[in-house]
Chain A
Amino acid sequence: MVVTDEKTIENTDWEPRIVGFLCRWCSYAGADLAGISRLDYPPNSIFIKVPCTGRVDPTFVLKAFADGADAVFISGCHLGDCHYIEGNYKTMRRFEILKETLKQLGIHERRFQLTWISASEAQKLKEFLTSMTSSIKELGPIQLPILAPLQKEDKQDD
């Protein structure tokens, strides 16, 4: 049986922290446009720029979750529109395997999303972030079925 994270605490102060990996050509430019256009979107997401979504090593996603991200998303150019020809197809294929793996590791599938946002789709980015943030708020803080640390004070040679 798989242990999944469930809504356990109702903390009013709590705000989800979302890490987004955005490709330099489309989505990051789209985020720039959202800024220039003065679009409002929830401040819960922090973007990390990558040259192409193809650069997003699944390790990065795991690392972000391990470091406390409540959700992670990857956003790139539309399929067929990649500035590196087909990087986003490679991401899409990886994403599916990673999503299945994360599900089995106990991470709700809504916490890991893939989207395609072009440089002109600031509005789409805003809508995506708004819906993702509210959906993560519904899920609540991530409760990774982590290794509870053993009593380190017992370690005699520390």
Chain B
Amino acid sequence: MVNITINDQEYDIEEGKTILEAAQAMGLEIPTLCYHKALSPYGACRLCTVEIELNGRTMYQASCQYLVEEGMNIQTESERVVNGRKKMIELLLARAPEAEDILDLAYKYGVKDTRFLKEFDDVCILCGLCIRVCHDRMGFKAIEFINRGIERKVSLPFEDFHEVCRTCGSCSTYCPTGAKAVQLENLTHHTPRPILSEFDQGLATRPAVYTPFPQAVPKIPVIDRNNCIHFQTGECKICQDVCEPDAINYEQEDEIVEREVGAIVVTTGFDPFDPNRLPQYGYGKYPNVITSLEFERISSASGPTEGEIIFPGVTEIKSAAILHCIGSRDENTNRYCSRLCCMNALKAANLIRDKLPDSHVYEFYIDIRAAGKGYEEYYQKMLRSDIRIIRGKVAEITNIPDLPEDEGRLTVVAEDTLLGAILRVPVDLVILMVGIEPKKDARDLAHILHLPCTEEGFYNEKHPKLAPTETVIEGIHVAGACQFPKDVPDSVAQGESAAAAVLSKIARGEYITEPTKAEIVDDHCSGCRNCIGLCPYLAISFDEEEEIAKIDSALCQGCGVCVASCPSGAIIHRGYTDKQIFAEIEGVLER
């Protein structure tokens, strides 16, 4: 431990620390630019310079590099120090007059302008952060300072592209000038592959360490192993250095946890309809044809555009079209109604009108389904607004304009079935209200859980009215859109109902099942194994010792397939015995 004084306050500091580290540990702020906790100190920007008095001598040193010594008296904000800093800022400002980090510093220290000649072409401040992160942490050594003096600059070895660059992008991420100085396309001939944010529907990028979405439970960042440099080269580990609670663990593996449970609630949700299946709407072809989910992110204040409805290549949104029933109520795709898109479409129209008051919004619908509390009222309100609600399915979206002034805009071709007229509406934005489909792997899960599905692949409840969350499999419940398209209120209601149903069964400690189950009469079973493969619930197994089949009555759901198939008549179906059904047949045919 060494005893030092910083700004007239005495501190005991661990030996071997730099002054900057000591000051930061004590909560004192020293401005830095070329310093990064994860990188070796470099002392390039000199912003962290402090006044040090030691053994009667005063000196000015970069605090990021100077180690603490016993009896040091340090001033971080003395007049001379601040004056020096201001001059440094002026010099930096001259090199990179538009870099935000530097402008922030200038504002903080009251530097209004620089007296030096502004340099707009070469904005690099030669802080070396990009080079240090590439060398020290990434281990690629793809970039380096070349030349000396005023010729010094960041460049590639021999100023030529080289294979070693992995386009990880950390150089531009660390650049204090906002990546203006190090641009990936100038450094590599690999195509940069930005990691697209799944939550933002691919409209924005995200880092390799990220929180999946703002309401994630648990709200903890995760490492995307496929994109994390550490998992590819073993280098980097910057997140581990900067994480103060030391929470980063690269050794953590995916784990399969086995739990014995008494009930399962299946809430696997849905997949949105893929509008690429309907090429006439030009999704993927025109950037301003978007899905309802993409619009949701664009219109969100926390979204990639911070709520502004803007698109690359579209200068002004004068009018927008909202297309209902994309992948719903359509003989060619899904015949059922996805239930929530009508209200979502009306909401989208409202949002556009709210954000762009001068725009026109057209809704193209088949029927408006506004069943739900307050929904009809909302629809009526929209009807009274100046949103044009047109009954008719859109035939096509085209970029061939009717009028020359609409060049570059999209044209919606539709029939207004109430007027019986063909409409051609020029718009700047098209929102496709995509329908709800079962998850792609819904049937795989159904196979694992032995759940019956509808033709489309939604899970079937036991009874639509009497047992809406139960399934025919005892102990397995369903809730939400995996059962059928549902909006949030309905999903919440069904989810709570499923939870309550499960809890009431768990509280009882035992299950009451239907008594109509199959049973094997041991003496009559010949062990032909005919029934075993037929059971959809794997309830029948072969007892190798007794050489007969056995039915697990907890798994048996009482369908009777095995009973009908037992060639020796050894299986009895309680409640539907052969005798009972024979008596029924005789009864109904009695003359």
Judge if B379 is at the interface, Cβ distance under 8 Å.
no
Asked whether B564 lies within 8 Å of A81 as measured between CB atoms, the reply is: no
Distance to closest chain B CB from A70 (angstroms): 10
Identify A84's interface contact among B472, B581, B585, B586, CB under 8 A. Answer: B472
Asked whether B455 lies within 8 Å of A80 as measured between CB atoms, the reply is: yes
Judge if B237 is at the interface, Cβ distance under 8 Å.
no
Judge if A51 is at the interface, Cβ distance under 8 Å.
yes
Distance to closest chain A CB from B449 (angstroms): 10
| Nearest A residue (CB) for B536 | A85
Judge if A78 is at the interface, Cβ distance under 8 Å.
yes
Asked whether A68 lies within 8 Å of B560 as measured between CB atoms, the reply is: no
Asked whether A84 lies within 8 Å of B452 as measured between CB atoms, the reply is: yes
Most A Cβ at <10 Å: residue of B557, B559, B576, B591: B559
Distance to closest chain B CB from A129 (angstroms): 15
Total chain A interface residues with beta-carbon distance under 8 A: 32
Residues of A within 8 A of B243 (CB): none
In the docked arrangement, what's the CA distance between A56 and B516, Å? 15
Asked whether B581 lies within 8 Å of A87 as measured between CB atoms, the reply is: no
Binds B, one of A34-42, A57-65, A100-108, A145-153: A57-65
Asked whether A81 lies within 8 Å of B589 as measured between CB atoms, the reply is: no
In the docked arrangement, what's the CA distance between A80 and B455, Å? 6
Judge if B573 is at the interface, Cβ distance under 8 Å.
yes
Mark each residue of chain B from 465 to 508: 1 if its CB lies under 8 Å from any CB of chain A, else 0.
Answer: 00000001000000000000000000000000000000000000
Residues of B within 8 A of A63 (CB): 582, 585
Residues of A within 8 A of B584 (CB): 48
Residues of A within 8 A of B464 (CB): 119
Asked whether B591 lies within 8 Å of A83 as measured between CB atoms, the reply is: no
Judge if B222 is at the interface, Cβ distance under 8 Å.
no
Judge if B568 is at the interface, Cβ distance under 8 Å.
no
Asked whether A19 lies within 8 Å of B585 as measured between CB atoms, the reply is: yes
Asked whether B559 lies within 8 Å of A78 as measured between CB atoms, the reply is: no
B-contacting residues, A106-137, CB 8 Å: 119
Residues of B within 8 A of A59 (CB): 578
Asked whether A85 lies within 8 Å of B591 as measured between CB atoms, the reply is: no
Identify A54's interface contact among B452, B460, B560, B589, CB under 8 A. Answer: B560
In the docked arrangement, what's the CA distance between A54 and B451, Å? 16
Judge if B528 is at the interface, Cβ distance under 8 Å.
no
Distance to closest chain A CB from B445 (angstroms): 13
A-contacting residues, B428-482, CB 8 Å: 446, 450-455, 460, 462, 464, 472
Judge if B558 is at the interface, Cβ distance under 8 Å.
yes
Identify A55's interface contact among B453, B536, B560, CB under 8 A. Answer: B560
Judge if B418 is at the interface, Cβ distance under 8 Å.
no
Chain B interface residue bracket vs A: 20 to 34
Asked whether A84 lies within 8 Å of B589 as measured between CB atoms, the reply is: no
A-contacting residues, B537-567, CB 8 Å: 557-561, 563-565
Asked whether B585 lies within 8 Å of A54 as measured between CB atoms, the reply is: no
Judge if A99 is at the interface, Cβ distance under 8 Å.
no
In the docked arrangement, what's the CA distance between A94 and B534, Å? 13
Residues of B within 8 A of A80 (CB): 453, 455
Residues of B within 8 A of A55 (CB): 559-561, 563-564, 573, 576
Judge if B261 is at the interface, Cβ distance under 8 Å.
no
| Nearest B residue (CB) for A63 | B585
Residues of B within 8 A of A57 (CB): 563-565, 578, 581
Asked whether A87 lies within 8 Å of B536 as measured between CB atoms, the reply is: yes
Mark each residue of chain A from 5 to 26: 1 if its CB lies under 8 Å from any CB of chain B, else 0.
Answer: 0000000000001010000010
Asked whether B561 lies within 8 Å of A81 as measured between CB atoms, the reply is: no
Judge if B256 is at the interface, Cβ distance under 8 Å.
no
Judge if B150 is at the interface, Cβ distance under 8 Å.
no
Residues of B within 8 A of A51 (CB): 516, 558-560, 573, 576
| Nearest B residue (CB) for A46 | B588
Residues of B within 8 A of A64 (CB): 585, 589
Asked whether A68 lies within 8 Å of B591 as measured between CB atoms, the reply is: yes
Residues of A within 8 A of B536 (CB): 84-87
Residues of A within 8 A of B452 (CB): 81-85
| Nearest B residue (CB) for A23 | B559
Asked whether A48 lies within 8 Å of B588 as measured between CB atoms, the reply is: yes
Asked whether B559 lies within 8 Å of A84 as measured between CB atoms, the reply is: yes
In the docked arrangement, what's the CA distance between A114 and B292, Å? 44
Distance to closest chain A CB from B476 (angstroms): 13
Residues of A within 8 A of B558 (CB): 51
Residues of B within 8 A of A83 (CB): 452, 460, 462, 472
Residues of A within 8 A of B563 (CB): 55, 57
Mark each residue of chain B from 570 to 582: 1 if its CB lies under 8 Å from any CB of chain A, else 0.
Answer: 0001001010011
Judge if A67 is at the interface, Cβ distance under 8 Å.
yes
Distance to closest chain A CB from B81 (angstroms): 78
In the docked arrangement, what's the CA distance between A84 and B573, Å? 15
Asked whether A68 lies within 8 Å of B589 as measured between CB atoms, the reply is: yes
Residues of A within 8 A of B586 (CB): 67
Given known A83-B460, A84-B557, A87-B561, contact A50–B589 (CB-CB < 8 A)? no
Distance to closest chain B CB from A23 (angstroms): 9
Residues of A within 8 A of B516 (CB): 51
Asked whether A50 lies within 8 Å of B591 as measured between CB atoms, the reply is: no
Residues of A within 8 A of B446 (CB): 85
Judge if A69 is at the interface, Cβ distance under 8 Å.
yes
Asked whether B589 lies within 8 Å of A87 as measured between CB atoms, the reply is: no
Residues of B within 8 A of A56 (CB): 564
In the docked arrangement, what's the CA distance between A67 and B582, Å? 10
Asked whether A60 lies within 8 Å of B455 as measured between CB atoms, the reply is: no
Given known A55-B564, A56-B564, contact A81–B585 (CB-CB < 8 A)? no
Judge if A31 is at the interface, Cβ distance under 8 Å.
no
In the docked arrangement, what's the CA distance between A58 and B563, Å? 11
Distance to closest chain B CB from A43 (angstroms): 12
Identify B588's interface contact among A19, A50, A82, CB under 8 A. Answer: A19
Sampled A-B contacts (21; CB under 8 Å):
A48-B581, A52-B560, A52-B561, A55-B560, A57-B578, A60-B585, A64-B585, A68-B589, A80-B455, A83-B452, A83-B460, A84-B452, A84-B472, A85-B450, A85-B451, A85-B536, A86-B536, A87-B536, A87-B559, A87-B561, A90-B565
Chain B contact residues, CB within 8 Å of chain A: 446, 450-455, 460, 462, 464, 472, 516, 534, 536, 557-561, 563-565, 573, 576, 578, 581-582, 584-586, 588-589, 591
Known contacts A19-B585, A81-B453, A86-B536, then 17 further A-B pairs from the complex at CB < 8 Å, ordered by chain A residue:
A48-B584, A52-B561, A55-B560, A55-B561, A55-B564, A55-B573, A57-B578, A60-B581, A80-B455, A82-B452, A83-B460, A83-B462, A84-B472, A84-B557, A84-B561, A87-B536, A119-B464
**Which 7 A-B pairs rank lowest in CB-CB distance, beginning with the nearest?**
A55-B560, A84-B559, A54-B561, A57-B564, A46-B588, A85-B536, A52-B559
